[in-house]
Amino acid sequence: MKRVLGGISLLLVGCVETVEPLAEVNEQEMNEFILRVKANQVFVEGGKFLMGDFGAKYGAERLPFDMNKNSSPLHEVRLDAYSIDKHKITNSDFRTYLQHNPSFIRKGKALSDYEMPKAFPGSPAEISWFEAEKYCEWLGELSGLPYALPTEAQWEYAARSRGQFLKVATDDGEYRVTDAVVSRDDGPRGLNISTQWDRREFAESMGWNTRSLTFMPVDRFPPNPLGLYSMSDNGVEWVKDWYDPEYYSYSPVDNPQGPVGPVYKTPEGENARVVRGQGHANAIWTLAVNVYRKGRDPDVAWYTARCAVNSKEPVN
């Protein structure tokens, strides 16, 4: 893999000349970790829904949510039951993975970037698609369960609380903030999703200089009706699928997995994987609509992820 560093990680870590190896994880710690990860799985009953930009037909204003046509056409999808993480992979989770698998540390990346001594353990980990895939596979090896990255269809079905016509993956499908007046230095705080002022305030409380680009704790705001946290903000998420801007025009109905191989190349010439969600929601423009989809270089470590369990039975 080529050398790619997450932008915010660099801001938080700084330069470290010597780095101590990550401490090993003992058996008791690993057992506790497995139990916690399994307990964080939310069961999603299977069913059918209309996937894609439903704004023009079912949105309150009858206008498209996404001017990028790659989230159209609206098309029927049927999914089997599965489970999915209620939270994004955290810095703490990913550090445990690296402690157990030191050989998986990204080539050309310093241990100090993973240590992130000033980063909040409960904030989303910035990782590449390959790291996200390996992390989910590792959970499967530890637990004996069929862990994997969720498909794009699984991700959207869950974000929309089993495919309901919910614009944003918040507790009520809307974006609610306080009524504070927007000024140059201050503005509304989020009631059910973060604003740039929430993120800046959190960064200042932690002594960071990341301002509105800060990732917040994964459970800072209420979950969506299904019980899933921050699917519309606080970090763009990798999913399993290869990216094709035309995929929705030929997607199969039953359990779509995305194109069978690479289709689309990024401007840098890399084969693209799908990312979903929003990095940093905005109270003014409400940039968090959960039908957005993009294609990104899978080597880039600026995004995060959550894992799914492909079983029709709940995780216990």
pLDDT band at 67 (very low <50, low <70, confident <90, very high): confident
Any idea which of 1-5, 162-166, 247-251, 310-314 has the lowest mean pLDDT? 1-5
Query: Is the residue at 315 inside a domain?
Result: no
Total number of domains constituting the chain: 1
- Nearest to residue 307, comparing CAs of 139, 77, 122, 101? 139
Query: Is the residue at 245 inside a domain?
Result: yes
Task: Give me the pLDDT at residue 25, please.
Answer: 64
Where b means 16+ CB within 10 Å and e means fewer, 45-74 reads: eeeebbbbbbbeeebeeeebbeeeebbbeb
The Cα 112–Cα 22 span in angstroms is 10
Residue 232 has a CB neighbour count (10 Å cut-off) of 28
Query: Is the residue at 217 inside a domain?
Result: yes
Task: Give me the pLDDT at residue 109, please.
Answer: 55
Any idea which of 4-13, 89-98, 111-120, 294-303 has the lowest mean pLDDT? 4-13
Query: Is the residue at 169 inside a domain?
Result: yes
What's the CATH code of the domain at 159? 3.90.1580.10
Whole-number mean pLDDT of the chain? 88
**Residues in contact with 33: Cβ distance below 8 Å, sequence separation at least 6, in sequence order:** 25, 93, 96
Query: Is the residue at 27 inside a domain?
Result: yes
* SS3 labels along 89-155: CEHHHHHHHHHHCHHHCCCCCCHHHHHCCCCCCCCECCECHHHHHHHHHHHHHHHCCCEECCCHHHH
Residue type, 97: Y
pLDDT band at 11 (very low <50, low <70, confident <90, very high): very low
Query: Is the residue at 59 inside a domain?
Result: yes
- Nearest to residue 109, comparing CAs of 123, 96, 128? 128
Q: pTM score, two decimals?
A: 0.90
Percent of the chain with pLDDT over 90: 73
On whether the CB atoms of residues 291 and 53 are closer than 8 A, the answer is yes
Query: Is the residue at 96 inside a domain?
Result: yes
- Kindly list the distances between the CA atom of residue 285 and the CA atoms of 66, 100, 175, 210, 289, in Å, as whole numbers in the listed order: 13, 42, 10, 21, 10
Query: Is the residue at 2 inside a domain?
Result: no
The Cα 230–Cα 18 span in angstroms is 35
| Structural domain boundaries enclosing 156 | 7-309
